[in-house]
A = this chain, B = another copy of it.
């Protein structure tokens, strides 16, 4: 309550709180009175927030975090998600690699060979591409999807691809082993809810300005609609820093691991936007406790139709995988 709230103001607030089926505790402080509200956390819980517009009320402060199914308390041992036979979230690290976008059969096959040789566990590639400009390359769409699937099958790697439109879920789920939700759709709740109805594992990227609690609420949309197979991916947030494409927020890794049982991987390619930073930040991600990595690899980055500056050549990817081995061992993981 405000410093000058009257007894009537306080009594009024108590009445309103109780009308919302909470118990009210009055705590008389030296300068102010606080009304503590205790109750079952439901959808309506948020209606307490409206008390901010009531006379004499200074602030309404929620005390509990609002994710439930994603909470580590639900599954203290951590979840392991299986994607086409590959486990994410166990002691072995999982590396997903491949080109930003599928551009041709040759390109995706070149990338698939490269990442398989380097030791990746899953092949990624974009068929539908979210691009800032409508004039930029938008992906090969259905054709790209089939090229990706074939490339994955040929080298024996399950495939991951981005889903941009709820309309395409069935089509994409038929050809891919894991569906990725990109940063720009991370609060597209309509898409998330529908992905909750499908059985495929979902790779959910953090939005550019999504707080960690909101990120888990986005996961909660999928979990609460029935799909428990969610892997979280930190991919950098938007800050004032312009030297890098995004600011990779590795604090998120150990904090998410405390808060949730869901596996957490990191995408240092988008998180930096600069190929020379990808390897050091991949190592840092694992040291911070990530369960895996998402790395963009292109057979010829200079010729890439999107995100060229952040894609690694297969040879550099192989080097990175090699340097990851002792690092993984140092933090008690295998590769």
State the A residues within 8 Å of B (CB): 3-4, 16, 25, 27-32, 34, 36, 38-47, 49-54, 59-61, 63-64, 66, 68, 73, 128, 130-137, 164-167, 184-185, 187-190, 193, 207-209, 211-214, 217, 220-221, 224-225, 237-244, 247-251, 253-255, 258, 271-272, 274-277, 280-281, 283-289, 301-306, 308-309, 311, 323, 326-327, 329-331
Measured between beta carbons, the chain B residues less than 8 angstroms from A303 are 47, 50
Minimal Cβ-Cβ distance residue in B for A309: B52
Known: A31-B41, A53-B309, A66-B133. A244 touches B255 (CB 8 A): yes
CA distance A141 to B257 in the complex (A): 36
Known: A134-B224, A247-B249, A250-B281. A64 touches B31 (CB 8 A): yes
A40–B66 Cα distance when bound, in Å, is 31
Number of copies: 4
Closest to A164 in B: B190
CB distance from A252 to the nearest CB of B (A): 8
Would A187 and B184 count as touching, CB distance under 8 A?
Answer: yes
CB–CB A241/B217 < 8 A:
no
CB distance from A272 to the nearest CB of B (A): 5
Q: How far is the CA of A42 from the CA of B207 in the complex (A)?
A: 28
B25 and A137 contacting across the interface, CB-CB below 8 Å: no
Q: Residue A130 contacts which of B132, B187, B275 (CB distance < 8 angstroms)?
A: B187
